[in-house]
Structure 1
Amino acid sequence: MAKVAPRVSFIIAGVQKGGTTALFDYLAEPGVALSTVKEVHFFDDESQNWGAPDYDAYHARFGPPDGRPCGEATPIYVYWPGSLERIAAYNPAMRLIVLLRDPVARAWSHWKMEYARGAETERFAWCIREGRQRLFDARPWGHHREFSYVERGFYGEQMARLLALFPREQVLVLTSDALREDPGAALAKVRAHIGAPIGPAPARREVHVGRQMDYPSELTAEDVAFLRRIYATDQARLRDLVGFSFG
């Protein structure tokens, strides 16, 4: 099929449990055109024929073009193999936004979400240690949509892949703490990055806060130290790439 002209100009590409839902909600104002659902899950769709992808199906998740910056937020894109490459093939001029959260806090929040959903039944300590072996039985090999508590936190590796595909000026990296503590300043940076008019500072909000229930685990000092050791080399790589790191 002939390539369809790209209509989507920006994507919030990561990370899961990093504040992407809040950012998507903040952007829901007249100067920006958003997808009809927050997470479109097009570029991570392994049922697509990526030799001839159906971009018409992708565009059907958006309203008619009207000149406004147009975008979506699917936070698995920065992690899922092939997604960033597919985005680059669709629109090499795409503006990317990545929200990063301390990877230890992100992993803990991710586990709580999957446990509350019923997708996870094991304790957190087991999941971040022995449970990582489950990813080697997954397809694509080494990746999993639910059980990737540790793997989604290798931000240095993910940002290196992203920056090999897109010029640095097309990529805005923020922390979830910055969005939470000063949403007005963070949103001004996002709007400038995607070419949207600068609006008034929004009221602070919290969305997708973890469900209150009895979890079979607590985040222990031993778990934190274990994850810090795992992430140490990757965090140094992240600092070299974007100028900051966690922990």
Structure 2
Amino acid sequence: MSETSPRGAGGSDGGLRAVAPPWVKRSGRAVTRTFGRYTSGGRLVPSFLIVGGQRCGTTSLHRALIAHPVVAGPVLHKGVNYFDLNYDRGPAWYRAHFPLLSTARRRAGNWSVGSGEPQAMESCGYYLYHPLALPRIARDLPGVRLIVMVRDPIERAWSAYKHGLARGFETESFERALELEPERLAGEVERLASDHGYQSDAHRHHAYVARGRYVEHLQAAIDLFGRECVHVIESEEFFANPASTYDDVLDFLGLPSWLPSAFGHHNARPSEPMPEPVRKQLADYFLPYDEQLAKVLGHTPAWRR
């Protein structure tokens, strides 16, 4: 889930870390986090988050946003996974991941004049789906704004499956993984909600269909934060018209107008086509959820148009 930030976006040069030995990376992270905890009082905390969904283009949007002069991302990773997997580490640990306010001010320079202080952000595709993450965010970051990305849930499920297969989280065929999903996820939400130290590999990595029921997760976010604090982006629209979609995001966040030199398409995973019988099965399954989503969005989702 996590990845290094590009240079100039609140982090150091990711290229050097990519070739460093594992023990050097571990030592560097430990030193950075220790220093970060000691200086946590002078560090930024996020004013907005990309909370998901998984495999919906969040990395591409994250990189475009942290390139903005007044936006700072985590020092080490795209996402901290604090509100889902590391909440027991406490707020000082969380703040240790973000740049010092003084550093962010220097980077912003004259861009921050008239737009207030620099803003920090992070991105985590699991926050939208984990049953405790959104309530924790609402409690700990009052006034925070959320960005939610959605994508054709059929393509999202296929992409998540191929991603899990490549990383060793999945060993079954796609058809079998879909059959096993209800059994794998049975009782996991309840256990996550009742045992705050519990982590579920099945819930995190095998929810191919469940994560695509966007309306359920989006409505939970709206109920907690208010519709005015939740901005929804359809991935198809973002990649077709990145500049206008990006400008809408800046307007939502109250950031000065600015465009990166280019918009990348990161973490895309090329793969063979999905079997057509499975696609038809999923299209029928997701239809009622997409119809409910259309009511929340105020228009038909891009993949149904």
Contact 1:116/1:211 (<8 A) preserved: no
Question: Which of 217, 225, 228 is equivalent to 2:283?
Answer: 228
Q: Which has the higher contact order (CA 8 A, sep 6+)?
A: 1
- The alpha carbon displacement at 1:134 in A equals 1.2
Rounded Cα–Cα distance in structure 2 between residues aligned with 1:227 and 1:108: 10
C-alpha deviation, 1:201, in angstroms: 5.2
Q: 1:163 to 1:242 in 2, by over 3 A?
A: same
Aligned residue number for residue 204 of structure 2: 145
Q: SS in structure 1 opposite 2:186?
A: helix
Note the C-alpha offset of 1:84: 0.7
CA–CA separation in structure 2 for the residues paired with 1:161 and 1:17: 20
Unaligned runs of 5+ in 2: 1-40, 106-116, 194-199
2: CA distance, partners of 1:168 / 1:131: 31
Query: In the alignment, which residue of structure 2 is the partner of 1:109?
Result: 159
Aligned to 2:80: 40
Distance 2:187 2:222 in 1: 29
Report what 1:7 is aligned to. Answer: 45
What SS does the aligned partner of 1:178 have? helix
Query: Aligned to 2:49, what secondary structure does the other structure show?
Result: strand
1:99 equivalent to 2:149? Answer yes
In 2, are the aligned partners of 1:185 and 1:201 still within 8 Å (CA)? no
CA distance in 2, matches of 1:116, 1:102: 21
The 8 Å contact of residues 69 and 195 in structure 1, kept in 2 or not, is answered as no
Correspondence 1:157-176 to 2 at 5 A: 157-176=216-235
Match of 1:21 in 2: 59
- Give distance in 1, aligned partners of 2:229 and 2:278: 36
TM-score, length of structure 2 as denominator length: 0.72
Cα RMSD over matched residues? Answer: 2.2
Q: Hey, what's the Cα distance between the residues in 1 that align with 2:259 and 2:84?
A: 34
Shift of 1:137: 6.2
Bigger Rg over Cα: 2
- Per the alignment, residue 248 of structure 2 pairs with 189
Amino acid at match of 1:105: E
Whether contact under 8 Å (1:183, 1:202) holds in the other structure is no
CA shift, 1:204, in A, is 3.2
Match of 1:68? 118
Mapping for residues 47-86 of structure 1, pairs under 5 Å = 48-49=87-88, 54-65=90-101, 66=105, 67-86=117-136
Provide, for residues 5-39 of structure 1, a one-character-per-residue CA deviation record: whole Å limited to 9, x for no partner: 98210000111100000001111222211112101
**1:158-185 CA deviation, whole Å, 9 max, x = no partner?**
1111110011111110111111111111
**2-side partners of 1:201 and 1:119: how far apart?**
34
User: Identity, % of aligned pairs?
Assistant: 31
Tell me the residue number matched to 2:6: none
More helix by share: 2
Number of residue equivalences? 236
Query: What amino acid sits opposite 2:64 in the alignment?
Result: Y
Q: CA deviation at 1:210?
A: 0.8
Contact 2:147-2:232 at 8 Å conserved across structures: yes
Q: CA deviation at 1:195?
A: 2.2
TM-score by length of 1: 0.88
- CA contact under 8 A between 2:148 and 2:233: conserved in structure 1? yes
Q: Is the 8 Å Cα contact of residues 113 and 211 (structure 1) preserved in structure 2? A: no
* SS of residue matched to 2:185: helix
Offset of 1:219 from its aligned partner?
1.1
**Cα distance in 2, alignment partners of residues 69 and 186 from structure 1:** 19
How much has 1:75 moved relative to structure 2? 1.2
Q: Aligned with 1:122: secondary structure?
A: coil
The one-letter amino acid paired with 2:46 is: V
Deviation at 1:129, TM superposition (A): 2.1
One-letter amino acid of the counterpart of residue 173, structure 2: R
| Equivalent residue letter for 2:238 | L
Distance 1:6 1:86, change over 3 A: farther
Deviation of residue 97 (structure 1)? 0.4
